[in-house]
Structure 1
């Protein structure tokens, strides 16, 4: 088996989370500058076997796509072109940023640490991945 890699795509930063090889545990991997995302993924896939990409799907409360979906669509095309053998699945990412922030509070992070937006993005990617694993 290979890993599942979750992507919380953002205009500036992108959070990334992965499973273990048995696809049981979701762990935050890192946050990368979005402009460096494809290069990061190429490097990562040289070292690790990834079976599936999960990409967060931002939606409004009425289930329509949010404005940031326009940023994600070109990335999805690029992702499937660069990695044609790895399927891409979308996962609803509503509330993940709020849940990530609450997770930081619950884990006892100090206010200054909670201002770290890169950490929020990484936790959001982990939440996206965890929700997928729960639904399996």
Structure 2
């Protein structure tokens, strides 16, 4: 049973890490999140180009980016890096909205799920980022379904 204000359309989710960026996509109905790929993250301009290409390919309604917060809800250096990255991504994707969503515990949840399904930590390193992006996206979709509002906060593009 959909909330009347749930927006139909595919979404992309991004889990930004220092070395890798996990990407996930939802189906056009916004029901199920699935892994897409892991983008190398050390070369930021190259990563932004790849993410822009993925957005062109998937034509999402929006892109959600996981914002790492401490368990108490505060933001540290990792959150500042993600905010800066999300702003650069939003400039590349204008007019496509980029939203920051709370990602507390997503990597832990993704790692537990992968271990439970028998994926070794060595094999899973490149896939953990995709799995974390899936958790971020699934959470964002559920938040929108239950609240009737887009999740997180929209990244403002400053020109």
Q: So what's the TM-score if we normalise by structure 1?
A: 0.89
Q: Which residue of 1 aligns with 2:155?
A: none
Is residue 24–residue 33 contact of structure 2 (8 Å, CA) maintained in 1? yes
Q: Superposed, which structure 2 residues align to 1:1-136 within 5 Å?
A: 2-34=9-41, 35=43, 36-110=46-120, 112-113=122-123, 116-135=124-143, 136=145
Q: CA offset at residue 16 of structure 1?
A: 0.5
3-state DSSP of counterpart to 1:50? coil
**Contact residue 12 and residue 55 of structure 2 kept, 8 A:** no
Contact 1:9 1:15 survives alignment (8 Å)? yes
Q: Structure 1: where are the runs of 5+ without partners? A: none
Residue by residue over 1:20-53, the C-alpha shift from the partner in whole angstroms, topping out at 9 and shown as x without a partner, is 1221110011111112321112222332211111
8 Å CA contact 1:2, 1:49 repeated in 2: no
Shift of 1:111: 5.1
Residue-pair matches, total = 134
Q: Which runs of 5+ in 2 are unaligned?
A: 1-7, 146-159
After superposition, what is the alpha-carbon deviation per residue over 1:65-96, rounded to whole angstroms, capped at 9, x for unaligned? 13201211221221121111111212111111
